[in-house]
């Protein structure tokens, strides 16, 4: 293949940084990073100068110069960029979560934890339908950047399911760590919720993906989520919480713990745990219990390398693992986190799929189902854990 793909990067934070690292390592297609923008002028100018990329004031002004818009901005900015790119006939890569409910635009003291969750679900469903229609109408390529899908363990499980005809009976999964690197995380108006959406989207997306794989392999159509029960908590806001300064607590109006119990349309189940209450680095896994095998997917730590450091200062310029609070003692290091967590194979699949005009492993259908499930879960929590049907109004 001798195709050149021009990428426009939206967002220069944590996701933008690892996206550009991975885009430089793509093989099989020539990649040109043709532009960059972000919400803050200072950030985009600095990023563009650092990487030698042309800087644009906003995503819309960059569209004529690119083939694909790679959206790494905070969730509240995703929808407008997606619709603009689709209407311009451009391909789209979008970080998770896809979108959400961010409260009234003019609210100055909004508290999402107190707002009506049924209203939120209805508003999000309208957004998801609008995104689906825009992408479908314009036949736009869409890659949903859920890295759990591309983690080596999940992809090996995909192969096992496809080659053995396995039926997944139940799954458990988790993403937890000590808060988020995003400066706007903890504010519902910017993030669209807390642990349930900010972290729960990862294991949920991975498990929804595996059930889609199972259904397509056996019957030619995906197995999709049907209903959800959920419970969330604000543990660090309890009056009796003892703050030792090791766990982030500065959340405005979000939950710091969430649980989802999902029932699929074939009657099988999945359980998702997620929280901000875990020390010692990021804690990610998915475990699959099937009718013919059992798999533990260690997303992070992946168990590839352990490093002992007696003096923290000597590792000051060495990255070992995401969200680790100290580099003294033993650390489960990640030799190449872009690969082990799935970022590199994710971008590789997206760029090749776009160049070959085919669907990627993680596509818009998965993004829509994941987002709808999470907001149905918020509705369940507001109803004290009552089971809520997941209204999936699209066929992708």
CATH code where residue 104 lies = 3.40.50.720
pLDDT at 396: 67
Structurally, how many domains does the chain consist of? 2
For residue 184, the model assigns a pLDDT of 83
394 found inside a domain? no
Distance of CA 287 to the CA centre of its chain: 18
Q: What is the overall mean pLDDT for the chain?
A: 95
Tell me if 188 is assigned to some domain: yes
Q: Residue 395: what pLDDT?
A: 76
Q: In terms of domains, do 41 and 184 share one? A: no
CATH code of the domain covering residue 187: 3.30.360.10
Mean pLDDT score, 5-17: 95
Spatial distance between the Cα atoms of 383 and 379, rounded to a whole number of angstroms: 6
Band the pLDDT of 323: cuts 50, 70, 90: confident
CA neighbor of 275 nearest in space, from 324, 231, 227: 231
Cα separation values, 52 from 20, 23, 27, 68, 112, Å: 12, 14, 21, 19, 40
Q: pLDDT tens digits for 324-343?
A: 888 999 999 989 999 999 99
End-to-end CA distance of the chain: 28
Q: Per mean pLDDT, which range of 155-159, 326-330, 374-378 is the poorest?
A: 326-330
Query: Exposed, middle or buried: residue 39 (CB in 10 Å: 0-12, 13-18, 19+)?
Result: middle
The tokens for 79 are 């929808």
Domain identity same for 94 and 191: no
Residue 9 phi/psi, 5-degree rounding, is -95, 125
Chain segment 253-293, per-residue pLDDT in tens: 999 999 999 999 999 999 999 999 999 899 999 999 999 99
Range of the domain at 130: 4-146+346-358
pLDDT (mean) for 25-31: 96
* Residue 252 phi, psi dihedral angles, 5° rounding: -80, -50
pLDDT of residue 179: 79
Average pLDDT estimate for 172-196: 91
Tell me: pLDDT of 158 over 80.
yes
Looking at the fold, whether 166 and 196 belong to one and the same domain comes out as: yes
Return the bridge partners of 33, or none: 7
Is the pLDDT at 69 greater than 60? The verdict is yes
Same domain membership, residue 25 and residue 169:
no
pLDDT band of 377, cuts 50, 70, 90:
very high
The pLDDT score that the predictor gives to residue 2 is 52
Say what the pTM is: 0.96
Q: Is residue 320 part of a domain?
A: yes
Same domain, 85 and 126: yes
Residues 87 and 183 in one domain: no
**Do 81 and 69 meet the contact criterion of CB atoms below 8 Å apart?**
yes
The gap from C-alpha 151 to its chain's centroid, in whole angstroms, comes to: 13
Q: Name which of 394, 395, 396 is nearest 129 in CA terms.
A: 394
State whether 114 and 153 are in the same domain. Answer: no
Same domain (yes/no): 298, 166: yes
H or E segment and range at residue 250 = none
Mean pLDDT to the nearest integer, 350-370:
97
In this structure, the answer to whether residues 122 and 185 fall within a common structural domain is no
**pLDDT tops 90 at residue 230:** yes
Q: Give a yes or no: residue 121 inside a domain.
A: yes
The answer to whether residues 135 and 152 belong to one domain is no
pLDDT tens column, 77-135: 999 999 999 999 999 999 999 999 999 888 889 999 999 999 999 999 999 999 999 99
Q: Quick check: 47 and 21 in contact, CB under 8 A?
A: no
| Residue 395 within a domain | no
* Structural domain includes residue 37: yes
Do 162 and 236 lie in one domain? The reply is: yes
User: What is the arithmetic mean of pLDDT over 149-172?
Assistant: 98
Closest CA to 353 of 206, 140, 152, 158: 140
Q: Report if residue 212 sits inside a domain.
A: yes
Q: How far apart are CA 20 and CA 363, in angstroms?
A: 20
396 located within any domain? no
Q: How confident is the model at residue 1 (pLDDT cuts 50, 70, 90)?
A: very low
My answer on whether 333 and 306 are in the same domain is yes
* The two structure tokens encoding residue 124: 């999000």
Question: What pLDDT is stored for residue 74 in this prediction?
Answer: 92
């Amino acid at each position: 293949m001798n195709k050149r793909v021009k990428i426009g990067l939206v967002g220069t934070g944590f996701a933008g940084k690892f996206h550009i690292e991975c885009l430089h390592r793509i093989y099989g297609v020539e990649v040109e990073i043709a532009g960059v923008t972000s919400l803050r002028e200072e950030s985009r100018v600095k990023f563009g100068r650092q990487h030698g990329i042309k800087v644009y004031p906003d995503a819309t002004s960059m569209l004529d110069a690119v083939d694909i818009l790679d959206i790494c901005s905070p969730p509240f900015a995703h929808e407008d960029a997606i619709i603009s790119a689709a209407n311009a006939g451009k391909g789209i890569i979008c970080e998770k979560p896809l979108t959400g409910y961010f409260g009234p635009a003019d609210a100055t003291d909004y508290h999402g934890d107190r707002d009506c969750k049924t209203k939120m679900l209805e508003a999000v469903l309208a957004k998801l339908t609008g995104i689906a229609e825009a992408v479908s109408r314009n036949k736009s390529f869409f890659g949903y950047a859920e890295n759990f899908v591309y983690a080596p363990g999940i992809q090996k499980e995909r192969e096992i399911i496809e080659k053995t005809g396995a039926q997944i009976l139940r799954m458990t999964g988790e993403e937890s760590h000590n808060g988020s690197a995003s400066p706007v995380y903890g504010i519902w108006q910017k993030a669209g919720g807390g642990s349930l959406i900010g972290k729960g989207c990862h294991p949920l997306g991975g498990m929804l993906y595996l059930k889609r794989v199972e259904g397509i392999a056996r019957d030619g159509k995906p197995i999709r989520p049907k209903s959800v029960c959920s419970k969330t908590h604000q543990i660090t806001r309890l009056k009796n919480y003892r703050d030792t300064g090791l766990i982030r607590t500065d959340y405005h109006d979000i939950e710091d713990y969430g649980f989802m119990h999902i029932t699929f349309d074939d009657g099988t189940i999945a359980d998702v745990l997620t929280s901000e209450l875990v020390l010692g680095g990021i804690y990610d896994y998915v475990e699959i219990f099937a009718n013919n095998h059992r798999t533990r997917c260690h997303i992070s730590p992946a168990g590839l390398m352990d490093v002992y450091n007696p003096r923290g200062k000597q590792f000051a310029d060495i990255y070992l693992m995401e969200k680790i609070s100290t580099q003294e003692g033993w650390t489960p290091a990640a030799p190449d986190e872009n690969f082990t967590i799935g970022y590199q194979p994710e971008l590789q699949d997206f760029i090749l799929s776009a160049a070959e005009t085919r669907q990627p492993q993680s596509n818009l259908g998965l993004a829509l189902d994941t987002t709808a499930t999470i907001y149905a879960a918020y509705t369940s929590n507001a109803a004290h854990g009552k089971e809520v049907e997941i209204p999936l109004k699209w066929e992708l």
